[in-house]
Amino acid sequence: MSHKVTADAIQGEGPVSAINVTPLVDVMLCLLIIFMVSTPMMAPKQPQKIAVPKAKAQAIAQEQFLLATVSVDAKGDVFMGTVALSRDPATMANELSSNARLKEDGVAFVQGDSNIEFSRIVEVLVALRTAGVSKVGFLTDPKVPPRT
């Protein structure tokens, strides 16, 4: 009985204990190419339209508006009710944390001018979170129809 030693395995009698992975790699590469070619064809051509639910809410009281509403005007200035707050987010957080109503309720409302950059609203939200406000609502004008 003679055995030949080759690069892949020992040739001769008995089972070969080496696994040939070449067919597996070939199949995987073919599947990869198929998915790469077919995926762009499955993507939607038009952006998806999302129907945003409409809801009515009760108007908030004037006292609650003055004590729990943070407003951002078109210039990016921030107000708590009618009191101006700092433009710096860290200082704004300190000013907001000194508000007893916000500490007690943990609720604030944010309203912003429609022309303000979103990053400014994010700065206000970060300042509110730093001040310990856990619930934030957004105020809108109920008389204005929603954009389509």
More confident residue, 41 or 43: 41
Distance separating alpha carbons of residues 110 and 100, to the nearest angstrom: 17
Tens digits of residue pLDDT in 72-94: 888 888 888 778 888 888 898 88
The whole-model pTM stands at 0.55
Tens digits of residue pLDDT in 92-108: 888 888 887 788 888 88
Residue 110: closest CA among 96, 98, 90: 96
Tens digits of residue pLDDT in 100-144: 778 888 888 888 887 888 888 899 999 999 888 888 888 776 665
Q: What is the 3-state secondary structure (H, E, C) of the chain?
A: CCCEECCCCEECCCCCCCCCCHHHHHHHHHHHHHHHHHHHHHCCCCCCCCCCCCCCCCCCCHHHHHHHEEEECCCCCEEECCEECCCCHHHHHHHHHCCHHHHHHCEEEEEECCCCCHHHHHHHHHHHHHCCCCEEEECCCCCCCCCC
C-alpha to C-alpha distances, 44 to 32, 52, 103, 140, nearest whole angstrom: 21, 20, 47, 32
Q: What is the pLDDT of residue 53?
A: 47
What sign has the CA pseudo-torsion 64, 131, 134, 57? positive
